[in-house]
Each structure stands twice: as structure tokens, then as C-alpha cells.
Amino acid sequence: MNLTGGISWHWMAWRSQTRWAPTAHAIEQWLLQSAQALPSKYKLEKPSLLLIGASAGWMMSSQWLSQFARVDTFDIDPLAAFLFKWRHGAALKAQNTALECHTQDALQNLPVLLEAHPNACVFFDNVLGQMRFQHAAADWQLVEKKIQHFKVQLKGREWGSIHDRMSGRLNARIAVDSALPIRQPEWNEQHWLTQLDAQSPWLDHLTQNVFAPGSRVQDFAWNFSPIYRHWLQAAWVRP
């Protein structure tokens, strides 16, 4: 059973498109800006991308994807390939971006994928923060260890991730017309959680060490439901 995706994820994402749109838009802006900062070798030649945990790309930007020469998506969910092509296929085709959608455990197969695509960038699309649901709660150290091991496997590679850092219930329902909270650089974690209206305790998604200290990490609020919010973090790691 897929505890982090599958039919229930597609149903929830399809129904929540309007509520999730401000976060998807903020992620798109961040991705487009980060593309401008790609190393010079990629400015001469369009890179290719391995997108891991792609699902149907419910929160992924077609515009950003179409900057790549080729996109390979990976998900364990057998519905994901068909739905990803349905949502992003036409936009990518219009920009001559080749698209291949694979059904497989890309976390388990990461070394093989990296070897098969030696020049591709890698982006973990809201999947690393889901690993805790694929392990027993008591195995949290194993999850953190596995994440550290991915970093070793990715050494020398251009890679990025967006993932849950924490999530949980709120003190009050989110007002329909309220603006999405934006983290100010001077806010510490506690101040940010207060701005998110987090009702303690929040769930730790075990991703606090994905990025090395000092990385340029971007924070996002995600109104998952009127009473439940996620705190997402994203960054690129450049060799």
C-alpha cells in the first residue's frame, strides 16, 4: 500500500487545487528564479532532469519543466505516469522537452539512475518528508540515516529538493481570503511557527538535515486544508 501517494493523493490534490494554488505559484517562482542561477555549463546546453516522487505533478510547474531538454519522472504509484503526461505532457511537447514517465522506487534505485543519467539534475519533489510514513515511528533514526546516505550518493551532482519540514493542526480555521504566511529572514523557527498559527505539537518530517547548514533554504507555507498546514523547505545543492 502506498501511504504517501496513490489514488487518495490524486483525489485530494484535484479537489484542493484552488486552496493549494498560492503555494504552487510560490514554488514556481522559486524554481524559475533558481534556474537563472544554474551553473554556466547549463547555460550553454539545456540540462535534463530526474524528477523523483513526481506523482501527477500537482504542484509542479510546466513552465519550469519546459526549460529542460528532457524530463524523466519517477513514482512508485502506477497511476502517476499517465496523470503526469495528462497534466504536463502538452506543455512540455510544445517546448520540445522530451518526457519519459517511469513507475519505480527511485529512492531504492538512486545509484542506478544516477549512473544511467550522468549529466542530469535531480529534484526530489515532496518525497523526502514522506519517508517517515514508510517506516515504523520508532525507526526515525533509520530515516534520517537513509537521507544522509542519499546525500553521499548525490555527491558531485546538481540536486534539489522540496519537502515537508513540519506539519500540523492550527489554532483557528484559515480564513478564505487570508494571505499565505511568508517567512521573514530574521524570524527564528518559533516565530515562524507562530505566524503559521501552529497548534503544538507539530509533526516533524525528519528532514531538518537534508540541507547542509548555511544553504540558501526557501520556506513555504502550504494550506493543506482549512485546519491543517505544512511548512515546506526547498533548496538546491550545487557541486
- Residue 199 and residue 53: Cα distance in Å, rounded? 29
- Residue 35 and residue 37: Cα distance in Å, rounded? 5
Residue from 31, 71, 99, 106 that binds ligand SAM (CB under 6 A)? 106
Q: Contact at 8 Å (CB) between 69 and 35?
A: no
Residue from 20, 31, 57, 68 that binds ligand SAM (CB under 6 A)? 57
Grid cell digits, residue 81:
505516469
At 143, phi and psi to the nearest 5?
-60, -50
C-beta of 5 vs 47, nearer to ligand SAM? 5
Burial of 80 (0-12, 13-18, 19+ CB in 10 A): buried
Of residues 108-127, those binding ligand SAM (CB under 6 A): 125-127
- Residue 126 and residue 144: Cα distance in Å, rounded? 16
Of residues 134-173, those binding ligand SAM (CB under 6 A): none
| Nearest approach, Cβ of residue 60 and ligand SAM (Å) | 5
Residue from 20, 31, 55, 218 that binds ligand SAM (CB under 6 A)? 55
C-beta of 55 vs 67, nearer to ligand SAM? 55
| Nearest approach, Cβ of residue 227 and ligand SAM (Å) | 19
| Nearest approach, Cβ of residue 167 and ligand SAM (Å) | 11
C-beta of 96 vs 108, nearer to ligand SAM? 108
| Residue of 86, 90, 55, 58 whose CA lies nearest to 73 | 55
Would you say the C-alpha torsion 3, 161, 43, 66 has a positive or negative sign?
A: positive
Quick one: which segment of 68-76, 189-197, 204-212, 214-222 binds ligand SAM (CB under 6 A)?
68-76
Would you say the C-alpha torsion 146, 148, 152, 155 has a positive or negative sign?
A: positive
Grid cell digits, residue 180:
499565505
- x/- mask, ligand SAM, residues 73-102, rule CB under 6 A, reads -xxxx--x----------------------
| Nearest approach, Cβ of residue 40 and ligand SAM (Å) | 29
Q: Contact positions toward ligand SAM, by CB under 6 A?
A: 2, 4-5, 9, 13, 52-60, 74-77, 80, 105-107, 125-127, 130
